[in-house]
A and B are shown apart, each in its own frame.
Chain A
């Protein structure tokens, strides 16, 4: 394996794992998703001219795979209760919005990916659109729809669900 790639993977594993976890909501799927994305990156490492952009390359694969290739597993989860993040993943010790996180996990994969890229990765709408291969308008509408759904799920007034532009 290329030394540069090994160093890249070692340096970025933790951060990318957290993104993968937010996209999947499940630790084993997150690890699997990230391993696959990094394997694809490794195979194409020599063709990536700007190694500084490799993070974005991996993130794009993560988002794509979370939406498309993992659709099957999303479907398998339909009808099942949301995973108990408070007991399985060691999150109960932390002060987090568990209700909101559970609601986010119930969003369709693309909507969730938009939220993760916008609000966790802090990407602009344009960068999010580029990462997901969709238009900026779609990012706006997906984010807006996601916020509305979350407001509804949490029984909050939708009037507060306005998206800010980057």
Chain B
């Protein structure tokens, strides 16, 4: 097979006829890149100057009872809007950003974050084993600390999902059995022998299984419901809501007695908050700036409003809790050169950049592409 792959790639490459260099387009691109860099540097300088003359004020509309500046870091951390630690990776290395602005380096290589809660983070190691760290907040010192603990399973193969609120972990073993583990009870919530598919989302309503052709919602009491799915690339299950998300269109449903009801269309790529109270959408209109919206359920259904304060181009959105959204953004749309982290408050619909002192490289909230 290796020889065939090599032969195929070389065959294709040899057959391709490279176009001539479009020097005009290239010069324009270089000019644009340099201009963006200058603009960004100027903005950073202006922001730094503003901090000198003004008392820095964090957005504190979200509950945040951590008040200590961690002395362990050489940099001076700044209080954030986070209510609990946020987790991210930078070029495969796992980090935590505590609410007080302190960055914790786990000093491990990770294939991405599976999920987190106030109490723990679960991530893939590079070899697909699971890394689990329990988080503890010391009210006396105002510091968070982490301890490596044993995950409910050692290795997942390729199939494991965690609920957005970090309570449930679902996986499929190599015999096809699906297990849903409940961290609150510290035991398996239920198991499915000969599961109809592999888990793609888990929440209080049960576990979503993707089979060969369909997606099924399997409730904890054994009820199995087929769900129409047109090839969504992400599905979210939280509270009594299910969101099926494509790149430019999404649908949100209520889950009523194990069945989907009240389906509504949402623009763009959606994600659901950990307890199903809010939905975020990212829309990439042609030739226009990316639009980030937060939707809340009102009397007339889901109502969205735009989120402000992100200077760059939003890339990946993840909910920290039902009141806080994490967003990575980049100025060059590649996610390679510059990728910074923002926190957005649901209440104020405003975002602020979260400083990550000592961390260099593009910040990622996503799993690796598997």
List the interface of chain A (C-beta within 8 A of B): 1, 9-10, 13-14, 17-19, 21-22, 27, 31, 35-36, 38-40, 42-43, 61, 64-65, 67-69, 71-72, 75-76, 78-79, 85, 89-91, 93-97, 100-101, 104, 108-111, 115-116, 119-120, 133-135, 137-138, 141, 145, 147, 150-151, 156, 160-161, 163-164
Chain A residues contacting B21 (CB-CB under 8 Å) are 9-10, 13
The total of chain B residues at the interface (CB under 8 A) is 56
Pick from A1, A18, A38: contact of B18, CB below 8 A.
Answer: A18
Shortest Cβ distance from residue A88 to the other chain B in the assembled complex, whole angstroms: 11
Q: What residue in chain A is nearest B245 (Cβ atoms)?
A: A75
Chain A residues contacting B8 (CB-CB under 8 Å) are 96-97, 100-101, 104
- Name, among A120, A147, A163, the residue most crowded by chain B CB atoms within 10 Å (CB to CB): A120
Chain A residues contacting B158 (CB-CB under 8 Å) are 145
Cα-based distance from A35 to B368 in the complex (angstroms): 25
CB-based contact A78/B1 at 8 Å: no
Cα-based distance from A151 to B246 in the complex (angstroms): 28
Q: What residue in chain A is nearest B5 (Cβ atoms)?
A: A119
Shortest Cβ distance from residue A46 to the other chain B in the assembled complex, whole angstroms: 12
Shortest Cβ distance from residue B339 to the other chain A in the assembled complex, whole angstroms: 8
Cα-based distance from A79 to B247 in the complex (angstroms): 11
Chain A residues contacting B14 (CB-CB under 8 Å) are 94
Closest 8 CB pairs of A and B: A96-B11, A69-B334, A97-B8, A17-B18, A68-B335, A94-B15, A108-B369, A18-B13
Q: Mark B96-109, 1 if CB is under 8 A from A, else 0.
A: 00000000000001
Cα-based distance from A79 to B26 in the complex (angstroms): 32
Chain B residues contacting A42 (CB-CB under 8 Å) are 30
Q: What residue in chain A is nearest B2 (Cβ atoms)?
A: A164
Pick from A65, A69, A134, A150: contact of B92, CB below 8 A.
Answer: A134
Cα-based distance from A115 to B30 in the complex (angstroms): 30
Known A35-B22, A100-B4; contact A108-B9, beta-carbon cutoff 8 A: no
A to B CB contacts below 8 Å, 13 in the list: A13-B18, A17-B18, A19-B13, A31-B19, A35-B25, A65-B336, A68-B335, A75-B246, A75-B247, A78-B231, A101-B8, A145-B370, A147-B1
Chain B residues contacting A14 (CB-CB under 8 Å) are 18
Cα-based distance from A115 to B369 in the complex (angstroms): 14
Cα-based distance from A108 to B369 in the complex (angstroms): 6
B29 at the interface (CB under 8 A from A): yes
Cα-based distance from A90 to B14 in the complex (angstroms): 11
